[in-house]
Amino acid sequence: MGKTIPEIILNDGLTLPVIGLGTYKLKGNEGANTIVGAIDIGYRLIDSAYNYENEGTVGNAVRRSSVPREELKITSKLPGRYQNYDNAVTTIQESLYRANLDYYDLYLIHWPNPKQDSYVEAWQALIDAKKWGLIRSIGVCNFLPEHMERLEKETGVKPSINQIELHPFFNQAPQRKWHEENNIATESWSPLARANQVLQNDTIQQIADHHNKSISQVILRWHYQLGAISIPKSSSPARQLENISIFDFSLNETEMSMISGLTRPDGRINNQDPAAYEEF
């Protein structure tokens, strides 16, 4: 019996656990074993993407797991090169065939790619795929407010969630505030900043020592208290368990501000500003 992770409700009624498993680089048999192990200890939300080339791995883990499909929340994402309407529809179907699933719980546009200017037709494909029962909830990644405003203006449908780069070095305060005001959930990618520098940070170490927790646990608790869903990736069963063992302590306002205060304007991991960066 694994740990129970609290859930939040999205604006379209789908519930999601506040921590999921990131799967970038989890592939093949070893990746599937890792994901089955994570499900065994309590993970219910699994993040994947067409471009991670691991939808098959995730689907395999879902079938091998002892947890019923309907208790799992599986995510995938539409790549930039398939944003025109017809390609987007085919790609959603292809994602399902690769995973051998009947539906995705959550399907996201991976990047807005504003210069390409086709994210609105991609969004229309997601809206239609939801109507056809292929997807339960539709959202975006890396969208700026102006991109989401355009989606709603041109299609009448706003995203349930926006998955964005969010960690102590890049706390996304204005973007999170906009999400809150517009009832769009925030999901944090690279929530541990890929375990670079951040895990050696003295400020967070002091807070961790005070609570007798690890730095990763303090950071993931910070995400939770910000109201964001985080999807830390770990291939280690011990670290997967560590990452969901954060519901028996809390950070006070000072500690929250100390962690948020580590943010720097150039704090993005790879300088991927969605206003300019494009990914295909």
Ligand X SMILES: NC(=O)c1ccc[n+]([C@@H]2O[C@H](COP(=O)([O-])OP(=O)(O)OC[C@H]3O[C@@H](n4cnc5c(N)ncnc54)[C@H](OP(=O)(O)O)[C@@H]3O)[C@@H](O)[C@H]2O)c1
What are the residues binding ligand X (CB under 6 A)?
22-24, 47, 110, 141-142, 163, 189-195, 199, 216, 231-236, 239, 242-243
Between 129 and 140, CB nearer to ligand X = 140
The Cα 118–Cα 151 span in angstroms is 11
**One-letter amino acid of 8:** I
Between 14 and 22, CB nearer to ligand X = 22
Minimum CB–partner distance for residue 165 and ligand X (Å)? 7
The Cα 92–Cα 2 span in angstroms is 31
Minimum CB–partner distance for residue 163 and ligand X (Å)? 5
Minimum CB–partner distance for residue 231 and ligand X (Å)? 5
User: Among the residues of the chain, which ranges form H helices?
Assistant: 28-41, 55-64, 85-99, 119-131, 145-155, 173-181, 202-211, 215-226, 237-244, 253-260
Nearest partner of 275 among 153, 156, 157, 115, judged by Cα: 115
Between 108 and 254, CB nearer to ligand X = 108
CB 224 within 8 A of CB 185: no
Between 87 and 113, CB nearer to ligand X = 113
The Cα 101–Cα 107 span in angstroms is 13
Q: Which two tokens stand for residue 154?
A: 């041109």
Between 156 and 238, CB nearer to ligand X = 238
List the catalytic residues.
52
Residue nearest to ligand X (CB): 22
> Which residues, 6 or more positions from 169, have their beta carbon under 8 angstroms from its beta carbon?
193, 197, 198, 262, 263, 264, 267, 268
What's the CA angle centered on 192, arms 78 and 34, to 5 degrees? Answer: 65
Q: Which two tokens stand for residue 265?
A: 């304007």
Minimum CB–partner distance for residue 186 and ligand X (Å)? 12
